[in-house]
Amino acid sequence: VLMSDNNDLIKRLMIQDASFLTAHEKSLLQNNLDSFNRLAVMSNSELSSIIQRDVTRSLWNGSEVLKKAQTALRLIKALGIKWTFIDSPDFPPMLREMKDPPYALFYRGNLDCLNQKCVSIVGTRRVTCTGRNAAFDFAKDASDDNVTVVSGLAMGVDICSHKGALAGKSGKTAAVLPGGIDTIVPLSNTKT
């Protein structure tokens, strides 16, 4: 990875961390700032000027956000995490159709599975034996039909869905995590 690529990624990681901004506002920042250094010293009023909305009540602290972005970059490299941003060609088109799409996706594996037919299977964590079997069977049938199964990674229906998808012919499944990709929740699913 070239240094200029690292600089752009750090800037994007900083922008991603601004949870009080919409994807559109994050894109405005991306397009109007030439370096992460400018973002690190930006005041709330400068930020407000770029995104055309008052953010004086936000908790923007550029130097802290920069430290977090640098830590995230080290994790990305150490764990082999891949990324795509909303303006990247490989960003899944269906996600762009959302009212406020994610600005970034961090992933392991093959992102192309989200560009094909998908079905989301979610349900209770305290699943009955019948529910467990139904989630597994439904996901396996979807996988047999070359459909990607998308679910969380929680105990119960979510895990049964992933296991069913992996047992099917295509074996394509995507787990949506509530935190960072370096933090599998619950911990017991780390090796699942």
CB 60 within 8 A of CB 42: yes
Give pTM, 2 decimals.
0.78
CB 121 within 8 A of CB 64: no
Mean pLDDT taken over the chain: 85
Closest CA to 104 of 187, 35, 12, 190: 12
Q: What is the greatest pairwise CA distance in the chain?
A: 56
Segment 52-71, tens digit of pLDDT:
888 776 677 888 989 999 99
Segment 9-57, tens digit of pLDDT:
999 999 988 888 889 999 999 999 888 888 888 888 888 889 888 877 6
Instruction: Tell the residue number behind the tokens 């099917």, with chain if given.
Output: 168
